[in-house]
Structure 1
Amino acid sequence: MSLHKFTHLLAQTVEELSTYSSLKGVFHEHRDGGPLPSGKVLKEIIELCRSILFPGFYGKSTVNSHTITYHIGVNLERLYGLLTDQILAGLCFASEEGCAQNKENESGCNKHCKEKAAELAAAFIAKMPELRSVLATDVEAAYNGDPAAESYGEIISCYPIIKALSSYRIAHELLVLGVPLIPRIISEMAHSETGIDIHPGAQIGHHFTIDHGTGVVIGSTCVIGNHVKLYQGVTLGAKSFPLDENGNPIKGIPRHPILEDDVVVYANATILGRIRIGKGSTIGGNIWVTEDVPEGARLVQKK
């Protein structure tokens, strides 16, 4: 069928899709020098981080004790360059002025953003030894928590929780440093990759693990202690939140649970609101919890 026959319809649709009212809220206007962060590059950044944090398991498998310094050095150098560029894109996105490159602000906003991006990238890289240390405890927790696991190497290579946690801990550090947008992109990439949804704003202690993992949701203001274990399908979420005088949701308030040390939450449990699950408690599967649970409690369905 001839395209000419529908030329008027196509032109009309183009016009409707280009109107301001249609674009409001869904259009990011590109400014020179201020592109959005790239999902493709952020994926490479995550892979570089994993190859540095778990050398030999990610990246080049031929690395050994004689080449490890060179391997980490090359990857860190590339990571610094890529991360600086992506943080700059995030800063430009968040800036009201867009950090556009032009004669008026070439030496102003843009220069400041470039310097800040480089500073933030360096600050993140300085945190990587600490990230590796805490991720090592997560590997240990996953190994000790699963009788089917035969080695730490199997945990690192095969278990989705390590991919999810490495992405979460990277995103969390970037969020703490004040990097805009990128932490959320990284967390949603991990969500797509593993089925585990951990908001980068959550605070999670050491020796944390999730068995199986699929369908787990951890909200932005969750606080999780040390040696905590979750099973698949667990939701650590919020109840309905208050609205302001204009009917808009009030943001920035703590609205997700606090899980103290040594808590175990079994499959498909739902824990909602700013409640406290006491140290050493066990929450059984398929339970809806909206009130505080005392230390050492065992909450299960009634027979």
Structure 2
Amino acid sequence: MTNVNRFSDLQLRSTNLEIDRIVAELRVQRIASLENRLGHRRPPKLPSRKILVGVAEGLSAAMFPNRLGSADLADEGVDHYVGHMLNTTLRTLLVQIQHELHFSSGLEHLSDEDRERSITITQAFAKCLPAIRSLLESDIVAAYEGDPAARSVDEVLVCYPGIMAIIYYRLAHELHRLGVPLIARMISEIAHSLTGVEIHPGAQIGGSFFIDHGTGVVIGETAIIGRNVRLYQAVTLGAKRFQVDEHGALVKGIPRHPIVEDDVVVYAGATILGRITIGRGSTIGGNVWLTRSVPPGSHITQAQMRHETFEGGAGI
């Protein structure tokens, strides 16, 4: 132990931090909270965010082994590597799915029914991986073709935060669809932390999707996005308002986010709110605030929106 560490240890010993009392108070609060929320004092385990980081990385490596997998793979060893990654990662995912199903059930122990369901979900998810890989290929090509700064599709795959966000979204979306929304949300939030792009796993997004630059993009749970759509940084596809029930509680799950049809481009800083439709082939300019539907082929700019707002003395 260095002199500095020894001095710090002596300081700590001479300082009365009342650790035992604080631990006891935190325990009382923790137990009361669990009993109020769950009805019992020992909650089942939640899926582990740390483990799901490894799951997302492992699945990405299995789909793109030569670029996101091991750096020293020989051609003849790729299939073996992919098989190993899938076997290891899917077994790990299975356990996390069991944790979510157990937590959601509220039961003391994992039921046989949920144990079987976790296997069914894992098998169904595994079968989706080739289709996910195909969709991601279209996204990567769209990014390469849509960005003049991109020198290769490999550069897009390993460098672009928008592509990482889309990879994690497409994995999370299938898990959400198969009935494990908590794991799906955790994977999407891992991507959010890494890239600054927030895509709710419940959103529906077609192929050839490109997010350029990425930072600050938000796509809500009930958004529907068609094929060949391009978003730039700081775009929001959000809700205009939140409905409440007769008790004042938020009504969840209702369609409240935009529908963006095929071949739409939305430039940086645009905010599109509510269950409105952006018609096919439209272009939404930078910093536009849009809360109404627009027909196919529209070109909406900030100047047009200001003109509509202040026309005839209306507005602020």
Same fold? TM cut 0.5: yes
Whether the 8 Å CA contact 1:171–1:184 is kept in 2: the answer is yes
Q: Does 1:56 align with 2:57?
A: no
Supply the distance in 1 between the matched residues of 2:163 and 2:268 (Cα, whole angstroms): 19
Supply the distance in 2 between the matched residues of 1:14 and 1:26 (Cα, whole angstroms): 21
Counterpart AA for 2:234: G
Residue among 36, 44, 53 paired with 2:54: 44
Partner of 1:191: 192
Partner of 1:252: 253
- Number of residue pairs aligned between Structure 1 and Structure 2: 291
Q: Does 1:268 align with 2:251?
A: no
Offset from partner CA, 1:100-121 (integer Å, 9 cap, x none): 2xxxxxxxx5322222111211
Partner of 2:4: none
Counterpart AA for 1:48: G
Q: 1:298: Cα distance to partner?
A: 0.2
Q: 1:283: Cα distance to partner?
A: 0.2
TM-score by length of 2: 0.86
TM-score by length of 1: 0.90
Partner of 1:284: 285
Partner of 1:106: none
Q: Which has the higher helix share?
A: 2
Q: CA RMSD in A?
A: 2.2
Whether the 8 Å CA contact 2:261–2:279 is kept in 1: the answer is yes
Q: 1:128: Cα distance to partner?
A: 0.5
The aligned runs of 1:113-132 (5 Å cut-off) are 113-132=114-133
Whether the 8 Å CA contact 1:202–1:223 is kept in 2: the answer is yes
User: 3-state DSSP class of the match of 1:226?
Assistant: coil
Counterpart AA for 2:92: L
Q: Which has the larger radius of gyration?
A: 2
Partner of 1:104: none
Q: Cα–Cα, structure 1 residues 154 and 29, in superposed 2: closer, same or farther, change >3 Å?
A: farther
Partner of 1:103: none
The aligned runs of 1:1-303 (5 Å cut-off) are 7=18, 11=21, 14-15=24-25, 18-19=28-29, 24-25=36-37, 29-31=41-43, 34-98=44-108, 100=109, 109-302=110-303
Percent identity reads 48
Q: Cα–Cα, structure 1 residues 284 and 12, in superposed 2: closer, same or farther, change >3 Å?
A: closer
Counterpart AA for 1:245: E
Whether the 8 Å CA contact 2:198–2:218 is kept in 1: the answer is yes
Q: 1:69: Cα distance to partner?
A: 1.5
Partner of 1:105: none
